[in-house]
Amino acid sequence: MKIFLTRSIFAAAALLMAFPLARPACAQTASPGSPVDSAYAAILTNAKVVKTLEDIKADDARTFAEQKRITEIPAPPYKEKIRAEYYLKRFHELGFKDASIDSEGNVIGLRKGSGGGRPKLVVSAHLDTVFPEGTDVSVKEKDGVILAPGIGDDSRGLAALLSLIKSINANDVATVGDIMFVGTVGEEELGNLRGVKALFRDHGDIDGFISIDGLGITRVVNQATGSHRYEMIFRGPGGHSFQEFGLPSAIHAMGRAVAKISELQTPADPKTTFTVGTVAGGTSVNAIAAEARMAVDMRSDSTEELLKLEARLLDLVKQAVAEENARWKTDKMTVEIKLIGDRPAGIVAMDSPIVQATQRAVSVITRAPRVTFAGSSTDSNLAMSLGIPAVTIGGGGEGGNWHSRNEWYKPVDAYFGPQNALLTILMLTGLDGVTKPALAVRQGK
Ligand SMILES: [Zn+2]
């Protein structure tokens, strides 16, 4: 006990030495006397918190082993079940006896605070990967780098979350607000955020949302890039290229559409983008194509701009079909337009407590004064679109080649991920008997 206290005080002093370094960054947007400000100093010097931070660091190698184990359990879109069951088992082992899998497939473990259930903060990572069934997900090591599909995205977030739970439970860290730990399904492309959509449908009392997704600690996501994706299928009668010349062509109609789309102009700020990602069609070189299809991706940091772009683009596609029909004096060419992806956009203000808390935590953990805030498309999109404070933070370490079979990971300062999450969470939920929650209870919910 004595040794523990001495070490803790020493570590607290070390953290306080980092504190002045962190200060200038905080001063950028700090509002003196805010709940985050008062919570920050009290939490950093709390012996239990310091010990928990140390335990997370000591747990680094085990967490990395866990990350590799999770990676080797396949979790294709809509087929996360086996990984979810493993994750639930780990929740049970770490002390969440009532943890369960909800009707959508999310793994949920509730850690109660002393405040009667509010504020309620969700801390999550996603279970699914982009890789289809049958993908070789075995972990390989080459020159100190780990290679495996999904090793970073989001096995790192899942492992960081478990390390965090293990350390706060082992140290009996008591919070005022409730923390709902969640392994979500359906974050990636095809899943269309089905996990978080169900979570917010079933739990109307969520006051804040954190997703651990991606790696870098100094890059924090406080903007949700919205996206709409379409598949467009052009259909006509088709026929022999010589005998039946004079019929409209599905490929020609699609070509007209692509040419028009490629000339679209969009704003740089808010960043708004488009691309025709894939095309396919036709059956042979000497046939007028009966069918052609393309997939189109549109994104924006602003819902308004996204909807404007979408309206223009869909209109151009219809014009292209009309022109192909007019060219051959027919009405036989049609287009079917199918929405295949829908992610809402949103933004969390820089002076919001969740952004302020994250900024302070990142500064003190990394001792880096600069924190970059950016837009991305993650589970936080849904919370942000509902007006619920949310951020996406990194799980720690370095990596790249996301969504490819050559995804790589290096555990450089990986423990920064769960440490950063710990401090952010405690500022928001409040440390029982020490600080008040900086996260506000949403009124009327
Ligand atoms: Zn991800």
Dump pLDDT digits (tens) for 300-311.
988 899 999 999
CB 69 within 8 A of CB 148: no
CA of 58 to the centre of ligand 1 (A): 26
CA of 132 to the centre of ligand 1 (A): 15
What pLDDT does residue 22 have?
A: 37
CB 354 within 8 A of CB 389: yes
pLDDT at 228 > cutoff 80: yes
10 pLDDT tier (thresholds 50, 70, 90) = very low
Structure tokens at 150: 């999904």
What pLDDT does residue 343 have?
A: 87
CA of 357 to the centre of ligand 1 (A): 22
| Phi, psi dihedral angles at 239 (to 5 degrees) | 170, 180
Find the angle CA(378)-CA(379)-CA(380) to the nearest 5 degrees.
85
Mean pLDDT of the chain: 91
| E strand intervals along 65-159 | 100-101, 107-111, 120-126, 140-142, 145-147
CB 293 within 8 A of CB 233: yes
27 burial via Cβ count (<10 Å: 0-12, 13-18, 19+) = exposed
Classify 123 as helix, strand or coil.
strand
CA of 396 to the centre of ligand 1 (A): 13
- Alpha-carbon distance 343 to 386, whole Å? 12
CA of 443 to the centre of ligand 1 (A): 31
| E strand intervals along 225-264 | 226-235, 239-240
Residue with tokens 């947007």: 29
Amino acid at 36: V
CA of 213 to the centre of ligand 1 (A): 5
Classify 52 as helix, strand or coil.
helix
Lowest mean pLDDT of 16-20, 130-134, 177-181, 268-272, name the range: 16-20
CA of 255 to the centre of ligand 1 (A): 34
On the CB side of 24, how many CA atoms lie within 13 Å of its CA? 5
What pLDDT does residue 2 have?
A: 31
CA of 153 to the centre of ligand 1 (A): 5
Among residues 420, 422, 417, the alpha carbon closest in space to that of 165 is found at: 422
pLDDT at 369 > cutoff 80: no
CA of 188 to the centre of ligand 1 (A): 7
Euclidean distance between the first and final Cα of the chain, in Å?
43
